[in-house]
A and B are shown apart, each in its own frame.
Chain A
Amino acid sequence: MQLANFGNPVMPTGPERAGMVAYVNARLLDPATGMDEPGALVTNGGVIADVGPSLFNDLPPATVDIVDCKGLVLTPGLIDMRTQLREPGEEHKETIETASAAASVGGISSMVCLPNTDPVIDDVAGVEFVARRAREVKATKVFCYGAATIGLEGRELTEFGLLSDIGALGFTDGTKAVANARVMLRALNYAKTFGQLIIQHPEDPTLAENGVMNGGEIALRLGLRGIPRIAEVMMIERDLRLVEATGGRYHAAHISTKEAVEVIRQAKERELPVTCDTTPPYFTLNELAIGDYRTFTKLSPPLRTEEDREAIIEGLVDGTIDAIASDHAPHDQDSKRVPFAQAADGIVGLETLLPLSLALVHKGHLDLPSLIGKLTCGPADILRLAEGRLKKGRPADIVIINPDKPWRINVEEFRSKSKNAPYEDMPVQGRAVRTVVEGRVLHDELQ
């Protein structure tokens, strides 16, 4: 059957034909090909015209704008495979425009948003709305996932085919797990028709019910209801059985526990079509950060133990964890200035994704190419995007990074509408100094 062609995929921005720009004197870093050497890159309008170490051995032609990268790192623009944009429905927390501004500062050239908006992105109109708004804003590229089930209710599947055709990159119920095993089985099975990915929020909702932080000593002391750590691995283990039975492509989002890393490691050894990501809070903080009921540290899944934090780093190091996402979850003050148990889950992450991740390099866990891979070709490969590579003919989405620059996080400076992050005044190292999307400069502090 020929599926209806709605044309117009979620390729939001019509590139400006800005002419040719040569980025010279750069450390070219492309984890997809292993390139890491001095060289230059030329963009022509919205695409990469050429790239390589021997480019402009002679002087570049006079017709080309020249940007001196001063030896800084030039990589593909970062791809954030998990953000919540709150538009439509909660524009007081964030909009596509403010999130794009935040993303640009963070070196992110592509975001993939969750369908947990209001209304839920579970039909063609929802995907088209996001695409249209992104075109109008004309900043960071915005892709989206479709809801796995109608209304995120965990019962009926959405139109995977039609949604894929207009650009949905995969299917997920966002911050809710697809809890019903039969529904998950069908989702994995049916998604195969279109080669699509199912992204799971891996948490058994019956075990997590009413829980507000990691189960354990701290929860006991604070008198807060705990979410047992096994709630995560149990859901993943169940899903892996279903993946094995169906052969469907499965991605576990924001994993946070040692056991989750272990079972995914084993699944990859068995060559199941499984990938996973994590997000900076899980390798930056542990449950002690909650302190005296700091609601900015409340997120889902919750901050775990120090042992888990170390295991997440290990998973990143050995390749079990494929990608790092921001898990950007903007919330207004009213959602956080309440007793801990009533506070909304989530942390804003677009502007801190890169510096917090770079800490893994500065602490010697990962080398820079491996880390950048988790932020570029890692997610691009999972989502089958053309972005995330420094390659002739690919979109001119690039970021210039000063990996060593020391600075302090100041949440008041966030471009995001919401400031809910527990990193106030945290010293970090490294940031994006220029972000380019399809040849357009969205953020520039290179000079």
Chain B
Amino acid sequence: MTAAQKFPTFDFRHQHLLGIEELSADEISLLLDRSDHYAEFNRTDVRAPQILKGRTVINLFFENSTRTRTSFELAAVRLGADVINMTVEHSSIKKGESLLDTALTLNAMHPNVLICRHPESGAVKLLSQKVRCVVMNGGDGAHEHPTQALLDAVTIRRRKGRLQGLIVAICGDVMHSRVARSNIYLLQTMGARVRVIGPPTLVPGTMEQLGVEVFHDMESGLKDVDIVMMLRLQLERMQGSYVPSEREYFRYFGLDKQKLSSAREDALIMHPGPMNRGVEIDSEVADDIGRSAIQEQVEMGVAVRMACLEVLTCNLPILETR
């Protein structure tokens, strides 16, 4: 009996992790359970089983993101993988070509897992069609960011004990947010009620087609919610194109103590980071240890990515050493 056979296998229908939309409730629960499992390892001095020993994981980032990349990297390293980081500078002139060319080049090197972030929606899916290894979506355009939604869900589940029946408000630039989309799909699949709040330029009424409730003011939108998820407002969305100014945005849609008072008393505050303090969230709220789960989200990020790596690679052929 070889060492690899000791590791568990799972009932998971997908070769890749491209989005939450294609996952069933059982599959999501599985990933959340495994995340809980790894969260315990991360908190103690016990090393997680080295299930990815001898495997190669490539972090292929077409967008700069130190936080997410580090989280993926740490997750892979803690499972024993060899990790290569590639950040491809995204020139606006030749952006299309580099994706598939890079994919084919990397594929020829036989990695086991490719983790990809790309500024265009659908790009990671396209990549997955051209390579033979496992592909994990680290965020594609405004489409999906599945590990973020999973880590948010673990965080919520650990604090609230459940997802079913919770009222979750997602606030801010929902329109352009892959975090929001993945969260909407996940929360709905798991039986939570989702509201989206923001000005109509960022949260158009047509969002209702996604099965969420749309609000254009914080007061009524936050009433009785269990979870307040703030989104990062990209700086280029300000300067008059979607909202007139930071200060106006903060006045009406930034989360401060006063607006938060319409939510439930035990409402949890979340943010995918990095935060624009004083734009979408007030520091007083963000740093409130009793209510803010923002640090825990970061912590769960590593555990969730370990769980995803585990579940996606559990059927890889056993490594032999000669």
Interface set of A (CB-CB < 8 Å, partner B): 215-217, 220-225, 292-293, 334, 337-343
Contacts and interface: CB of A to CB of B under 8 A. Distances in A.
A339 B99 contact: yes
A433 B258 CA distance: 75
B207 A293 contact: no
B75 to A, nearest CB: 24
Contact of A340 (B121, B144, B181, B206): B121
A341 B206 contact: no
B251 interface: no
Contacts of A292: 122, 125
17 contacts: A215-B206, A216-B209, A217-B210, A220-B210, A221-B210, A222-B143, A223-B142, A223-B178, A224-B121, A292-B125, A293-B125, A338-B96, A338-B99, A339-B121, A339-B126, A341-B141, A342-B96
B206 A339 contact: no
Contact of A216 (B97, B125, B140, B206): B206
A222 B206 CA distance: 14
B120 interface: yes
Given A334-B97, A339-B99, A342-B96, A220 B122 contact: no
Nearest to A294: B122
B218 interface: no
A338 B142 CA distance: 16
Nearest to A217: B209
A339 B207 contact: no
Interface residues of B, number: 24
Given A223-B140, A223-B181, A339 B118 contact: yes
Nearest to B118: A339
A223 B96 CA distance: 18
Contact of B143 (A216, A223, A334, A343): A223
Contact of B206 (A220, A223, A224, A343): A220
B100 A221 contact: no
Contacts of A217: 206, 209-210
Contacts, number: 66
Interface string B76-97: 0000000000000000000111
A341 B120 contact: yes
Nearest to B120: A339
B207 A341 contact: no
Contacts of B206: 215-217, 220
A342 B209 contact: no
Nearest to B141: A223
Given A341-B141, A342-B96, A293 B122 contact: yes
A297 to B, nearest CB: 12
Interface in B98-138: 99-100, 118, 120-123, 125-126
Nearest to B62: A339
A144 B74 CA distance: 61
Contacts of A223: 121-122, 140-144, 178, 181
A222 B95 contact: no
Nearest to A225: B142
Given A220-B210, A224-B141, A338-B100, 15 more contacts: A216-B209, A217-B206, A220-B207, A222-B143, A223-B121, A223-B178, A225-B142, A292-B122, A337-B126, A338-B126, A339-B118, A339-B121, A341-B122, A342-B95, A342-B96
Contacts of B120: 339-342
A222 B97 contact: no
A314 to B, nearest CB: 25
Interface in B196-214: 206-207, 209-210
B123 A339 contact: yes
Contact of B96 (A221, A224, A225, A339): A339
A341 B92 CA distance: 13
Nearest to B100: A337
A339 B122 contact: yes
B21 interface: yes
Contacts of A225: 142
Nearest to B126: A339
Contacts of B99: 338-339
B52 to A, nearest CB: 29
Contacts of B125: 292-293
A202 to B, nearest CB: 23
Nearest to B209: A217
A337 B99 CA distance: 10
B311 to A, nearest CB: 22
A194 B120 CA distance: 47
Interface in B204-255: 206-207, 209-210
Contacts of B141: 223-224, 339, 341
A283 to B, nearest CB: 24
A217 B210 CA distance: 7
B209 A338 contact: no
Nearest to B180: A223
Nearest to B22: A292
Given A223-B141, A223-B143, A223-B181, A340 B122 contact: yes
